[in-house]
Structure 1
Amino acid sequence: MKQTLLLFLCSIVSVYAQENGAVLGHITSEGAPLAYVNVYLENTSIGTTTNEDGQFKIENIPYGTHTIVASFTGFKTKRQTINLNKPSISVLFDLNENESLDEIVVSGTLKPVSRKDSPVPVEVYSPAFLKKNPTPNIFDALQNVNGVRPQLNCNVCNTGDIHINGLEGPYTLVLIDGMPIVSGLSTVYGLSGIPNALIEQIEIIKGPASSLYGSEAVGGLINVITKSAENTSKFSADAFLTSWGELNVDLGYKANIGEKTAMLLGVNYYNYNNPIDNNNDNFTDVTLQNRVSLFQKWNFKRSSNKAFSLAGRAFYEDRWGGEMQWNPSYRGGNEVYGESIYTKRFELLGNYELPVSENIVLQFSYTNHDQNSVYGDVPYLAQQRIGFSQLTWYKTLNTHDLLFGAATKYTYYDDNTPATRQADEVVIPSLFIQDNITINNNNTLLLGSRLDYDSRHGIIFTPRVAYRFKSDSESIFRINAGTGFRVVNLFTEEHAALTGSRDVIIENELKPERSYNINLNYLKTFYTKQHQIITVDASAWYTYFTNVILPDYDTNPNQIIYDNLDGYAVTTGVSANIDMMFTNGLKVMLGATYQDVSKTEAGITQDQILTENFSGTWSISYTFYNPKIAIDYTGNIYGPMRLPLLGDLDPREPYSPVWSIQNIQATYAFSNFELYGGIKNLLNWTPNKGNPFIIARANDPFDKDVEFDNDGNVIATPDNPYALTFDPSYVYAPNQGRRIFLGLRYRLN
Structure 2
Amino acid sequence: MSQFILCVLLSLSTLSAFGQTGRIIRVEDSATHDPIIGATIRTPASVKPVTGAVTDVKGVAIMPSTPASVTALTVSAVGYETESFSLPAGNDTLVFQLHSQDESLDEVTVTSTRTNSRIEDLPIKVEVLGQEDMDEESAVVPGNVSSILGDISIIHVQRTSAVNGNQAIRMQGLDPKYTQILRDGLPLYEGFSGNLGVLQIPPLDLKQIEVVKGSVSTLYGGGAIGGMINIVSKSPHSETPEFTALLNHSNLKETNLNAYYSQRYGKTGLTLFTGYTYQKAVDVTGDGFTDSPGIKQFNFHPKFFWNPTDHTKLDIGYAFTTENRTGGYLPALEGTEPGSYKNVTDLQRHTVDFNASHNTSETNALSFKGAVSTFHRQNTDYQKLSDGRQSSVYLEANDLARFGKHQLIVGVNLTVEAFRKNPDSTRLVDYTYNTVGGFVQDDWQVGEKVAIQAGLRFDHHNTFGNFLLPRLSVKFKPSDPWTIRLSVGTGYKTPNLFVNQTPGALNVSLIFPRLLPIDVSTVKAERSVGTNIDIAYSKTFESGFSVQVDQALYYTVVNSPVVSAFSSLSSNLGAYTQLTNAPYNIFSVGTDTYVRLEYKAYELYFGYNHTLARRNGPTDNTYLPLAPQDKFSTTVAWENDHFRFGVEASYVGTQYLYNNQKVPNYTFFAAAAEYHYNDHWRLVLNGENIFNVKQANYETVVLGANPTVQPTFRPIWAPLEGRIVNLALKFTL
TM-score normalised by length of structure 1? 0.78
How many angstroms apart in 2 are the aligned matches of 1:338 and 1:370? 20
How many angstroms apart in 2 are the aligned matches of 1:137 and 1:286? 15
Deviation at 1:576, TM superposition (A): 1.0
SS in 2 for 1:141: helix
Q: How far does the alpha carbon of each residue in 1:712-744 deviate from its partner, in whole angstroms, 9 at most, with x for none?
A: xxxxxxxxxxxxxx3225212331122321111
Q: Which residue of 2 aligns with 1:104?
A: 109
Native 8 Å contact 1:127 1:199 kept in 2: yes
Cα distance change, pair 402–588 in 1 and its aligned pair in 2 (3 A):
same
Match of 2:606 among 590, 597, 618: 590
Q: How far does the alpha carbon of each residue in 1:200-240 deviate from its partner, in whole angstroms, 9 at most, with x for none?
A: 10000111112211132122111011111235952111221
**Larger CA deviation: 123-132 vs 387-396:** 123-132
How many angstroms apart in 2 are the aligned matches of 1:473 and 1:499? 53
Native 8 Å contact 2:535 2:550 kept in 1: yes
Q: How does 1:499-518 map to 2 (within 5 A)?
A: 499=511, 509-518=522-531
How many angstroms apart in 1 are the aligned matches of 2:664 and 2:104? 40
Match of 1:578 among 583, 595, 598: 595
Q: Which residue of 1 aligns with 2:584?
A: 567
SS in 2 for 1:622: strand
Cα distance change, pair 200–140 in 1 and its aligned pair in 2 (3 A):
same
Deviation at 1:406, TM superposition (A): 0.5
Match of 2:728 among 700, 724, 743: 743
Q: Which residue of 2 aligns with 1:720?
A: none
Match of 1:120 among 121, 124, 129: 124
Q: Which residue of 2 aligns with 1:11?
A: none
Match of 1:689 among 691, 697, 710: 697
Cα distance change, pair 698–312 in 1 and its aligned pair in 2 (3 A):
farther
How many angstroms apart in 2 are the aligned matches of 1:641 and 1:553? 24
SS in 1 for 2:132: helix
How many angstroms apart in 2 are the aligned matches of 1:419 and 1:375? 11
Deviation at 1:580, TM superposition (A): 0.3
Aligned-residue CA RMSD in angstroms? 2.9
SS in 2 for 1:218: coil
Deviation at 1:99, TM superposition (A): 10
Cα distance change, pair 267–729 in 1 and its aligned pair in 2 (3 A):
farther
Cα distance change, pair 96–424 in 1 and its aligned pair in 2 (3 A):
closer
Cα distance change, pair 355–534 in 1 and its aligned pair in 2 (3 A):
closer
Deviation at 1:502, TM superposition (A): 6.7
How many angstroms apart in 1 are the aligned matches of 2:634 and 2:293? 27
Structure 2 unaligned residues grouped into runs of 5+: 1-77, 83-99, 503-507
Deviation at 1:494, TM superposition (A): 5.3
Q: Which residue of 2 aligns with 1:129?
A: 133
Q: Which residue of 2 aligns with 1:19?
A: none
Q: How far does the alpha carbon of each residue in 1:663-687 deviate from its partner, in whole angstroms, 9 at most, with x for none?
A: 1111111111111113221111111
Native 8 Å contact 2:384 2:425 kept in 1: no
Q: How far does the alpha carbon of each residue in 1:179-213 deviate from its partner, in whole angstroms, 9 at most, with x for none?
A: 11122333343223434221110000111112211
Number of residue equivalences: 621
Native 8 Å contact 1:291 1:318 kept in 2: yes
**Larger CA deviation: 237-246 vs 128-137:** 128-137
How many angstroms apart in 1 are the aligned matches of 2:302 and 2:292? 30
Q: How does 1:668-687 map to 2 (within 5 A)?
A: 668-671=675-678, 672-687=680-695
Match of 1:184 among 188, 191, 206: 191
Q: Which residue of 2 aligns with 1:526?
A: 539
Cα distance change, pair 264–527 in 1 and its aligned pair in 2 (3 A):
closer
How many angstroms apart in 2 are the aligned matches of 1:135 and 1:141? 10
Deviation at 1:396, TM superposition (A): 1.7
SS in 2 for 1:181: coil
Q: How does 1:22-61 map to 2 (within 5 A)?
A: none
Residue 282 of structure 2 corresponds to residue 297 of structure 1: no
Deviation at 1:244, TM superposition (A): 2.2
Q: Which residue of 1 aligns with 2:381?
A: 375
How many angstroms apart in 2 are the aligned matches of 1:593 and 1:442? 29
Residue 729 of structure 2 corresponds to residue 734 of structure 1: no
Q: Work out the percentage of aligned pairs sharing the same amino acid.
A: 20
Structure 1 unaligned residues grouped into runs of 5+: 1-76, 82-94, 646-652, 704-725
How many angstroms apart in 2 are the aligned matches of 1:575 and 1:185? 32
Q: Which residue of 1 aligns with 2:8?
A: none
Aligned amino acid, residue 627 of structure 2: T
Deviation at 1:253, TM superposition (A): 1.3
Q: Which residue of 2 aligns with 1:436?
A: 443
Aligned amino acid, residue 635 of structure 1: A
Residue 518 of structure 2 corresponds to residue 472 of structure 1: no
Aligned amino acid, residue 216 of structure 1: G
Native 8 Å contact 2:252 2:292 kept in 1: no
Q: Which residue of 2 aligns with 1:342?
A: 346
Aligned amino acid, residue 406 of structure 2: H
Q: Which residue of 1 aligns with 2:646?
A: 632
How many angstroms apart in 2 are the aligned matches of 1:248 and 1:96? 33
Q: How far does the alpha carbon of each residue in 1:412-465 deviate from its partner, in whole angstroms, 9 at most, with x for none?
A: 123467986531102211110001111111111111000000122222100000
Cα distance change, pair 79–561 in 1 and its aligned pair in 2 (3 A):
closer
How many angstroms apart in 1 are the aligned matches of 2:468 and 2:669? 44
SS in 2 for 1:688: helix
Deviation at 1:558, TM superposition (A): 5.4
Match of 1:643 among 657, 664, 677: 657
Aligned amino acid, residue 239 of structure 1: L
Match of 2:563 among 550, 566, 570: 550
Native 8 Å contact 1:185 1:493 kept in 2: no
Cα distance change, pair 419–288 in 1 and its aligned pair in 2 (3 A):
closer
Q: How does 1:203-602 map to 2 (within 5 A)?
A: 203-230=210-237, 234-256=242-264, 259-273=266-280, 275-327=281-333, 335-354=339-358, 356-357=360-361, 358-415=364-421, 421-493=428-500, 497-499=509-511, 509-552=522-565, 560=577, 562-583=579-600, 585-602=601-618
How many angstroms apart in 1 are the aligned matches of 2:615 and 2:673? 44
**Larger CA deviation: 431-440 vs 467-476:** 467-476
Cα distance change, pair 154–504 in 1 and its aligned pair in 2 (3 A):
farther
SS in 2 for 1:741: strand
Native 8 Å contact 1:407 1:429 kept in 2: yes
Cα distance change, pair 241–553 in 1 and its aligned pair in 2 (3 A):
farther
Bigger radius of gyration: 1
Cα distance change, pair 506–689 in 1 and its aligned pair in 2 (3 A):
farther
How many angstroms apart in 1 are the aligned matches of 2:215 and 2:105? 25
Native 8 Å contact 1:553 1:644 kept in 2: no
Q: How far does the alpha carbon of each residue in 1:305-364 deviate from its partner, in whole angstroms, 9 at most, with x for none?
A: 31110111100000100111123869xx97121000001001111111247454110011
How many angstroms apart in 1 are the aligned matches of 2:248 and 2:705? 33
Residue 622 of structure 2 corresponds to residue 622 of structure 1: no
TM-score normalised by length of structure 2? 0.79
SS in 2 for 1:612: coil
Native 8 Å contact 2:375 2:389 kept in 1: yes
How many angstroms apart in 1 are the aligned matches of 2:208 and 2:512? 38
